[in-house]
Chain A
Amino acid sequence: MRLLALAFVAMAALPWAATAAAEPEVTVTLDAAPSEARVGETIRLEVRVRARGGRIQDLKLDDLKKYPELEIISHQTVRPMQFSFGFGSGVQMESSLANVYMLQPTVAGTYEFAPAVARVDGRTYRSAPLTLVVRPGPGGIDGSSDLAEAPDATVGSELTGARYDARAFLRTVVEPDEVYIGQQVNVTVYLYTRLRLSPQSVVPSKPSMDGLWVHEDPITRLEFQTVPVRGTNYRAYVIQRSAAFPQRSGELTIGPPKVTFDVGGGSLFDAPQRIQRVGVPVTVNVEPLPQPGPANAVAGRYAIRAWLDRTTANTGDAVTLRVDATGLGNLQDLRIDLPPIVGVRALQPAIRDKQWSEHGKLSGTRSWEWILIAETPGEHTVPPIDLPFFDPDAEEYGSASTAALKFTASGAAKPSQQAIEPVDSRPKPRAATFGPIRMYSALTRGETPVRERGWFPWLLAFPPAMFILVMLGAGFARRREQRSATAGAVQRQLVRSAQNALEANDPRSFYDRIVASITHALDSRLGEAVGGLPHATLRTRLAAEGFDGDLVQRLINELEGADFARFAASGVSKDEMQRCLQRTAAIIERIQRSRRSA
C-alpha cells in the first residue's frame, strides 16, 4: 500500500519537474498596418511578445526614436495574462506584452526598423525587422506645414547663420543682408531639430539688434516645416520673426539668438530633458541713401493726402488739418513740417500711427492733426506738403505731395500774434510772478543728516539699553529682597519659638530652635542646605566661603554647645539659655552681614 502511494506522488510530480526544466516558448512580432501609407494617413505599429512558461522582463523598439517624422498620435501598452490548466502537463502560465503605436507620417520616405528586442527570464529574443514605406500625400505635398515660411534650401549648400548640431540648432536668416539705411530687413530665427520637442516648452530669447529699429511680429503658434540638412530631415520651427530698420550705415550685427526647450516626457517613465541652444551672430551691411537726393528723404514708398475738416470758420476759431501718409516702410522715420501760414497760428500736431504687415513688409499710416487758428479774416491757404522718399526696390527717389488747401475765416480780426510758433522758441520770461532773491545766506555746505552721524544710533539705542539694564537690576534686587524677606521671617519665627521655649523652661526644645536658627541663617546666606554637615566639614566649608575665622569658631562652638545641651538639658539654667539666645542673635546677625569672599 505504501509503495502504491509513493508511485502516485512520483507520477504527479513528474510534469511539474518537466515544466520547470523546459525552455520558455517566446514569440516576438513587429507589425505595421498598413506597411505602406501616404503622408498624413494613420499607421498602426504593434510590437508584441508572447511567452509561455516564462516571465517577460522588457520589450524595446529603439528605432522609433530615430524618426521624428513619424509622429506618435497615441501609444497603448497591453499586458494580458493567461493561465492554462492541463491535467497532463500541470498548470502553464502564458503571458504577453504589446506596445501599440498609432503613427502619422509627416514626411515621405522609407523607414527601416531594426528588430524589436524582448527579454524573457534573462534571455533576449528578437522580432523580424520591419520596413515602412510612406508615399507623398495627395497633391504631392510631402507633409510639410504650409503655414510656416520655408527657410532657404540647404541641401548641399553652406548653412548660413547657423552652427550645425546633429540634434538641434538655431539659424538666423536675414533678408536681405545688404540694404539701404531705413530699408526693411526681415530677421527670422529658426529652430532646426530632429528631437520631438514640447511646443509649450520652447522659450526663445531675443537677439540683440543694436542700430536697428525693430518691429516684432509675434509668433502665436509654433509651426514647422521639414527641411533636409546634410541628408537628414529636420523640423524647422520659426521661433522669432521681426522687421528691422537700420538707423545708421555700416556693418550692423544681429546678436546670437538663444532658445531652451524640453524633449521627451511623453510618459511617466520618460523624464523631459531640457535642451539649450545658442545661434551665431549675423551681419547686415547698410549703405547710406544714394546721392544726390533730397536731404530729408526716408526709405520706403508712400502716398500722402491732406484735408481740412471745414473750409469756413470764424476768425479765432479752430480748423483741423489732417495729413495721412500711407505706404511701405518704417513710419517712425516720417517727419512733416507744416510751412508757416500767414495769419494763421498752428498748434503742435497730434501724431497717430497704424501699422500692419503685408506679405512680410511693414506697412502703415501715420496721421498728423494740426489745429489751425485763423487770426485774421480772409482766405487762408495751406501750402502743399511734400514727403520725399527713396524706394529701395526700384532704387529711385520719389515724392508724394498734397494739394494746396484753402479755408476762409470771417469776422473781426483778432489781436496780432505770432503766426506760427517756432518749434524751438524760448518761452517768455515771467519775472513778475517770482519773489525777490535772497540777499543773505549762511552758505552752508552739505551737512550730514543727523540720522547719519555716528552718535545717532548710539544715542537712539541708549534709552532702551538703559531700560533693559534697569529692569534687569530691579528684577534681581526684587528677587533678592523677596528671598531675604522670606528667610528673615523664618528666622524671626525660630527665634520667637526659642524665646517661648526659654519662657516655658524647656531646654531641649530651646536648643533645638537654637540649632535650627543658626542652620537656617547659614542656609539662607550660602543658598544651600548645610544642616546635615559634620561640624568639621562645616568649618572647612565656611572657611572656603570666606567667613570670618572668629565667627566660624563661635558658630561651631555654639552648635556644639547646643548639641551637648540638647542631650543633657536637665542641668541647664535659665540664665544660661538667656545668654545662649543673646549669643545666637549676635551670631545670626554677623552671618547675615558677612560677605562671601568669592
Chain B
Amino acid sequence: MIRAWYLALALLFVSAGTEAQGPGQASGGRSLTEIFETANVAASRGDHPGAISNYLELTEAGVHDPDVYFNLATSFAQSGDYARAILNYERTLTLRPNDDQASENLRDAEKALEEQRAEAEGEATIQRSSSISNAVYGGLSENTLAYALLAANLLFFLALAWASLGRQRNRWFYSQLIAAAVILLFSALGLGVKAGLLRDGPRAVTLDDQLILREGPDPRAQVRGEARSGDRGEIVDRDRDFVKLRLVSGLEGWTPASGVGLIDPDHGVH
C-alpha cells in the first residue's frame, strides 16, 4: 500500500516537472530561440541596446527564464544602467536562488552604482532589503520549499500514525519524527515567506534616479521624499498609473509606476 502511494507521488512530481517545460514558441514571425540567439549575438558584439530590446521581446512574450533575465541584466549592466541590471539580477535570483554568478553580478552592479553615485555626490548608499528570512531562505526556491513541505508533511503524519498505532518504536524512529516535524515547520514558514505573507506588497526596485515620492497619486501632490535608483522597496498600493512605494528605510510615497520595476515577474514586468 505504502509503495503504491510512493509511486503515485513520484508520478505526480514527474508530471508536475514536465508540464513546466515548454518549447520555444513563435513570436512575431520569429521563434523564441531565434530571438534569444539574435540577442546573444548582439550582446557578444557589444550592441547592448539591440540585445536589451531582443531580451525584452522575450520577456514580453511571456518568457520568464532565469537565464534570459541574467543576460538582460548583464546587458543593462554593461550599458551602465545599473538599476535595471539590479532589477533583472534580482529576478534571476528569484527564479533560481542558488545562481552564484547572478548573486556575484548583483553585488557588482550595486557596487558600481554606489561608486558612480559617490563619484558624483561624494557619498552614496543603496537601500537593500536584508532580513533574517532572506538569509535563511535566500538559497531555496519556492518550488523546492513546496516539495519539501509535501514530503515532510507525508513523512510526519506517517510517523505519527505509526507511533499512534503502537507499532515498534525506537530512538531512530523518534529522531525521524522530530526531523520530519522540523522540516515541515521550516518549509511551511519558508513557503510563507516566499509567497509574501510577511510582506505588504510585491518587491520592487527603483529604476529612475531621484524618483520623487509624493503624498498622493498625483504629480501635483506634495513631495514627501525621494528614492534613488537601485533602492529596494515594496509596492503597497496602486492607483491608476501611480504606485505607493515603501522603501526599506520606511519612507513611503506615491510615484509613477514607470519609475519602478517589480522583482517578481508574476506581478507584471516593466
| Contact indicator B142/A471 (Cβ below 8 Å) | no
Taking the closest CB of chain A, its distance from the CB of B256, in whole angstroms, is: 17
List 26 A-B pairs, Cβ < 8 Å.
A213-B222, A426-B80, A427-B82, A429-B48, A429-B79, A434-B78, A434-B85, A434-B105, A435-B104, A437-B75, A440-B67, A441-B67, A442-B21, A443-B22, A443-B32, A443-B33, A444-B65, A445-B64, A447-B22, A449-B142, A450-B16, A450-B147, A462-B154, A467-B161, A470-B161, A470-B165
Question: Is there an interface contact between A443 and B146, defined as CB atoms closer than 8 Å?
Answer: no
Contact across chains for A439 and B101 when beta carbons are under 8 A apart: no
Is there a chain A Cβ closer than 8 Å to B40's Cβ? yes
Closest 3 CB pairs of A and B: A463-B157, A441-B67, A450-B146
Contact partner of B63 (CB less than 8 A), chosen from A210, A434, A445, is A445
Partner of A460 from B65, B149, B165 at Cβ < 8 Å: B149
**Complex: A455 Cα to B15 Cα, angstroms:** 12
- CB-nearest residue of chain A to B115: A430
A2: Cβ under 8 A from any B Cβ: no
Alpha-carbon distance between A29 and B157 when the two chains are bound, in angstroms? 89
Q: Is B156 an interface residue (CB 8 A)?
A: yes
Q: A212-B220, A441-B36, A445-B63 are in contact. Are A450 and B143 (CB under 8 A)?
A: yes
* Interchain CB contact under 8 A, A449 and B146: yes
Cα–Cα, bound, A211→B218 (Å):
10
- In the complex, residue of chain A having the shortest beta-carbon distance to the beta carbon of B158: A463
Are B154 and A443 neighbours in the complex by a CB distance under 8 Å?
no
Q: A579 contacts the other chain (Cβ, under 8 Å)?
A: no
Told that A427-B80, A445-B25, A447-B22 touch, could you supply 16 new A-B pairs with CB distance under 8 A?
A210-B220, A211-B220, A212-B220, A434-B85, A434-B105, A434-B109, A441-B68, A441-B71, A442-B65, A444-B64, A446-B265, A449-B143, A450-B143, A451-B146, A455-B16, A470-B164
Contacts of B116 in A (CB 8 A): 427
Q: Do A450 and B142 touch (CB < 8 A)? A: yes
Min distance, Cβ A26 to any Cβ of chain B, angstroms: 65
Residues of A416-457 whose CB lies within 8 A of B: 421, 426-431, 433-447, 449-451, 453, 455-456
For B109, the chain A residues whose CB sits under 8 A away are 434
Pair A443/B157 contact, Cβ less than 8 Å:
no
Distance of B172 from chain A, by nearest CB (Å): 21
Taking each of B78, B191, B195, which has the highest tally of chain A beta carbons within 10 Å of its own beta carbon? B78
Q: B161 contacts which chain A residues (CB < 8 A)?
A: 466-467, 470-471
Residues of chain A contacted by B156 (CB below 8 angstroms): 463
Chain A residues with CB under 8 A of B104: 435
In the complex, the answer to whether A348 meets B164 with C-beta atoms within 8 Å is: no
Task: List chain B residues, Cβ under 8 A from A542.
Answer: none
Q: Which residue of A is nearest B58, CB measured?
A: A443
The reply to whether A434 and B108 contact each other, CB–CB distance below 8 Å, is: yes
Q: Quick check: B157 and A347 within 8 Å, CB to CB?
A: no
A214 CB to closest chain B CB (Å) equals 7
Chain B binding surface, main DSSP class: helix
Cβ of B157 and Cβ of A464 under 8 Å apart? Answer: yes
On chain B, which size bracket covers the interface?
35 or more
| Chain A, interface residues (CB within 8 Å), range | 35 or more
Using CB atoms and an 8 Å cutoff, list the residues of chain B in contact with chain A: 9, 12, 16, 20-25, 32-33, 36, 40, 43-44, 46, 48, 51, 58, 62-65, 67-68, 70-71, 74-75, 77-80, 82, 85, 101, 104-105, 108-109, 112, 116, 120-122, 142-143, 146-147, 149-150, 153-154, 156-158, 160-161, 164-165, 191, 195, 218, 220, 222, 265-266
- Counting chain B CB atoms within 10 Å of each CB, the highest count among A427, A443, A455 belongs to A443
Task: List residues of A (83-114) whose CB comes within 8 Å of B's CBs.
Answer: none
* Complex Cα gap A24–B48 (Å): 107
Most buried by B among A439, A449, A450: A450
CB–CB B165/A474 < 8 A: yes
User: Within 8 Å of chain B (Cβ to Cβ): is A410?
Assistant: no
Min Cβ gap B128→A in Å is 18
Q: Give the residue among A429, A431, A433, A444 with the most B Cβ atoms within 10 A.
A: A444
Beta-carbon contact of B21 and A348 below 8 Å: no
**In the assembly, what is the distance between CA of A548 and CA of B32, in Å?**
77
A371 at the interface (CB under 8 A from B): yes
A434 interface neighbour in B22, B36, B77, B143, Cβ under 8 Å: B77
Flag if A445 contacts B62 (CB, 8 Å): yes
B12 touches A459 (CB 8 A): yes
Q: Tell me the chain A residues, 375-401 only, with Cβ under 8 Å from chain B.
A: none
Please encode chain A, from 69 to 93, with 1 for each CB lying within 8 Å of some chain B CB and 0 for all others: 0000000000000000000000000
Complex: chain A residue closest to B102, CB-CB? A435
Does A247 sit within 8 A of B, measured CB to CB?
yes
Closest Cβ–Cβ distance, residue B195 to chain A (whole Å):
6
Question: Which of B16, B33, B147 is the most central at the interface, judged by chain A CB atoms within 10 Å of its CB?
Answer: B16
A332 to chain B, nearest CB (A): 8
Contact B75 A441 (CB under 8 A): no
Q: Given A348-B121, A437-B40, A437-B74, decide whether A444 and B20 contact each other with a Cβ distance below 8 A.
A: yes
Residues B120 and A447 in contact, CB atoms below 8 Å apart: no
**Residue on B with the closest CB to A423?**
B120
Distance A158 CA – B80 CA, assembled complex (angstroms)? 64
Contact between B146 and A433, CB atoms less than 8 A apart:
no
Q: Are B80 and A466 in contact (CB under 8 A)?
A: no
By a CB distance below 8 angstroms, the chain A residues around B191 are 451
Q: Which single residue of chain A is at the shortest CB-CB distance from B79?
A: A429
Q: How far does the alpha carbon of A459 sit from the alpha carbon of B116 in the complex, in Å?
A: 51
Given A435-B74, A459-B150, answer yes or no on A441-B65 (Cβ-Cβ < 8 Å). Answer: yes
Q: Of A247, A434, A455, A467, which is within 8 A of B220 by CB?
A: A247
Q: Looking at the assembled complex, report how far the CB atom of A71 sits from the nearest CB atom of chain B, in whole angstroms.
A: 39
Judge whether A428 and B80 touch: CB under 8 Å. yes
Task: Look across to chain B and name the residue whose beta carbon is closest to the beta carbon of A448.
Answer: B20
- CA A348 to CA B33, docked complex, whole Å: 45
Residues in A whose Cβ lies below 8 Å from that of B24: 443
Distance of A437 Cα from B154 Cα, bound (Å): 41
Give bound CA distance, A431 to B32, whole Å.
26
Residues of B within 8 A of A213 (CB): 222
A93 to B11, CA, bound (A): 102
Looking at the complex, which one of B25, B63, B143, B157 makes contact with A466 (CB distance below 8 Å)? B157
- The answer for the CA separation of A434 and B84 in the assembled complex, in Å, is 14
CB distance from B232 to the nearest CB of A (A): 20
A204 vs B195: C-alpha distance when bound (angstroms): 42
Residues of A within 8 A of B158 (CB): 463
Question: By the criterion CB–CB under 8 Å, are A444 and B146 in contact?
Answer: no
Closest to A439 in B: B40
A453 touches B16 (CB 8 A): yes
- CB B22 to nearest CB in A, in angstroms, measures 5
Chain B min CB distance to A241 (Å)? 16
B269, closest chain A residue (CB): A446
Which residue of chain A has its CB nearest to the CB of B46? A431
Are the CB atoms of A442 and B67 closer together than 8 Å? yes
Instruction: Assess whether B40 is in contact with A443, with CB atoms less than 8 Å apart.
Output: no
In whole Å, how far is A165's beta carbon from the nearest beta carbon of chain B? 30
In the complex, which residues of chain B have a beta carbon less than 8 angstroms from the beta carbon of A421? 120
Collect the chain B residues with CB atoms within 8 Å of residue A466's CB: 157, 161
Q: B36 — which chain A residues lie within 8 A by C-beta?
A: 441, 443
Measured between alpha carbons, how far is A426 from B116 in the docked complex, in Å? 10
Contacts of A247 in B (CB 8 A): 220
Query: Could you tell me the distance between the alpha carbons of A348 and B147 in the complex, rounded to whole angstroms?
Result: 52
